[in-house]
Homo-oligomer: A and B are copies of this chain.
Amino acid sequence: MPWQFDIPEATVQRLSTYLTILRRLEGQGMPTVASSDIAHLANVNAAQVRKDLSYFGDFGRRGLGYRVPELREHLQRILGLSEGRNVIVIGAGNLGSALVGYPGFEPRGFHVVGIFDSDPAKSGSKLYGHEIFPMDRLAELVPRIGAEIAIIAVPGPAAQSVANDLVAVGIACILNLAPVHVNIPAGVACRRVDMTGQLEVLSFCLSSFSSAPEGEQVQ
């Protein structure tokens, strides 16, 4: 996951959480907020909030806290969201369709600007007003529509091949929803969201291993 300076990945993830919180506070008309308030809403330590923010500047005023709209704007800029981001979705199956119709992306600045599917039968048909393109038009269309981020929403076995295609046409940021790790060259950022994997962690919480008294079960 390539960024050059000494900023923990966990910090960047929390920044995204803080941004969501600040948007809500701003909507409620709150003028300022203390690190301890943000911390409470994000379920982290207050010093953590301050340290996270201090990587990027001195945004607070001592004795007062942070001005909500100001900090919200800073976070947006830090995360590169000031002008929104163009996203393409690969895979127009069940998952891909849901993504394209998901109303949560636009308000947070992500615009779906293209859908691709390897199935020629799907080409030309529309999904929530977006045309589905065949995979072999990727190289032609990615620069034209200004795609910056690609979401892989294909079945596991196809994910690596799709990732290769994306890298080949110059995509540098990939969100992988398939339940497999894909290899990508250095310089390309790839993150994976594995819902089923999270369900498996929850299943572990239910299993005897997470609660059974000492020594039982382990052979």
> Contact residues of A with B, CB < 8 Å?
1-5, 7, 9, 12-13, 15-17, 19-20, 24, 41-43, 56-57, 77-81, 85, 87, 94-95, 97-99, 101-105, 108-110, 148-149, 151, 155-156, 172-175, 177, 179-181, 183, 189, 191, 193-211, 213, 218-219
Contact = CB atoms under 8 A, between A and B. Distances in A.
A80 B201 contact: no
Nearest to A180: B20
Nearest to A214: B5
A121 to B, nearest CB: 18
Nearest to A191: B198
A218 B16 contact: no
14 contacts: A4-B210, A12-B204, A13-B197, A15-B200, A17-B197, A20-B156, A78-B209, A94-B98, A94-B103, A98-B99, A109-B203, A148-B206, A151-B199, A173-B206
